[in-house]
Amino acid sequence: MTNLIDKVLKQRKDPYDVLGLVFSNFQQASQKQKMPNLEKLFVLLSASFEIQAKNREKDSILQKDQKELLEGFQKSMQADLDRHFTEGFAKATVLGNRAVLRALTWGKKVNAIQNTLIKRFLQLGDELIKENERIQVCQACGFIMVKDSPPGVCPVCKAPAKRFVTF
């Protein structure tokens, strides 16, 4: 844990958002381990750090208009594609770490799909989502699409429709 967080700290001094995600990840793990009381404590900590992260960043995020913000997203995603996914694939292949390869394979696909959706949103705005359509997200891998109902199986990770969340 400290090894990962030390590396995060080299990039960001106050990683409130990352701590929130560390706790939300453990929240899910506790649920799977059938430890509802422990889960509750992680829910609390995850929510607390998400609120703190939002309070600190809110003003600077909302200062930008949505176009500027999304162009920033695209830049960050392109950097991930050019460097982190590519380097990660090469290293994980050489080292034979299949778990990391799995995460990078799905992550890279989702990264590309998000990028396409952002491009379309920049062109169409609100019209991206037509009447009766909604945003569908696969909770197993992060796959995102616009459709009236979730697909039968996730095209990226093959999770069934019930793993989808609709917005």
Residues 60-99 that bind other proteins (CB under 8 A): 61-62, 66, 69, 72-73, 76-77, 79-80, 83-85, 87-88, 91-92, 95, 97, 99
Please, which residue, 108 or 152, has the CB nearer to other proteins?
Answer: 108
Please, which residue, 6 or 152, has the CB nearer to other proteins?
Answer: 6
Distance CA 156, CA 153 (A): 9
Residue 87 Cβ vs other proteins, minimum distance, rounded to whole Å: 6
Element (H, E) at 64: none
Residues 145-164 that bind other proteins (CB under 8 A): none
Distance CA 20, CA 27 (A): 10
Helix 66-79 and helix 98-124, axial crossing angle in degrees, nearest 10: 150
Out of 116, 119, 123, 144, name the contact with other proteins by CB under 8 A: 144
Distance CA 37, CA 17 (A): 23
Number of residues located near other proteins, criterion CB under 8 A: 95
Residue 151 Cβ vs other proteins, minimum distance, rounded to whole Å: 14
Taking the CA atoms of residue 40, residue 106, residue 129 and residue 147 in that order, the dihedral angle to the nearest 10 degrees is -90
Residue 103 Cβ vs other proteins, minimum distance, rounded to whole Å: 4
Residues 5-44 that bind other proteins (CB under 8 A): 5, 7-9, 11-12, 14-19, 21-22, 24-26, 28-30, 32-38, 40-44
Residue 107 burial (CB count, 10 A): 17
Helix 16-32 and helix 36-63, axial crossing angle in degrees, nearest 10: 150
